[in-house]
Amino acid sequence: MRPFPKRQVMNNYENKVFNYRLSRARQTVECAFGILAARFRVYRRPFECKVDTVDHIVKATCVLHNFLSRKHNITEDDDENDQHNSFDTQLISLAANRTRSANEAFLIRENFKKYFNSQLGSVSWQQSAVQRGHF
């Protein structure tokens, strides 16, 4: 999902909140997949299977990771070596796509923005974090 462009964020608190929350979510997901890629080779190349199968693979490796983490204490040295060996293969460049996003994608982003700024979706530390950041 794309963040709001800078010109739409300058004086718009709701857009700033959305960009901040999207950034935090992206960092969390990238960190989780980095950990999984360091441990499981299946993440070191593009998936060539159905989306449902990818969903099962991600869930299975998460369960395996949690199981192995509880059963075996991994030393920091082993962890650092695994991460060092796989940094080049964790992120794969996507082919350039010159098409414009569909209106549906913009509507989805608007719905998330409304939720993050509503009473249900906001969090207590959100306002101060957004005011400190450059979103």
Residues 82-93: tens digit of each pLDDT: 544 444 444 455
Burial of 21 (0-12, 13-18, 19+ CB in 10 A): buried
For the cut 50, the answer to whether the pLDDT of residue 76 exceeds it is: no
- Segment 103-115 shows an average pLDDT of 91
Element of type H or E holding 58: helix 51-71
pLDDT at 70: 84
For the cut 50, the answer to whether the pLDDT of residue 56 exceeds it is: yes
Q: CA 41 from chain center: how many Å?
A: 19
- Segment 17-27 shows an average pLDDT of 93
In angstroms, the CA 69 to CA 32 distance is 14
pTM: 0.64
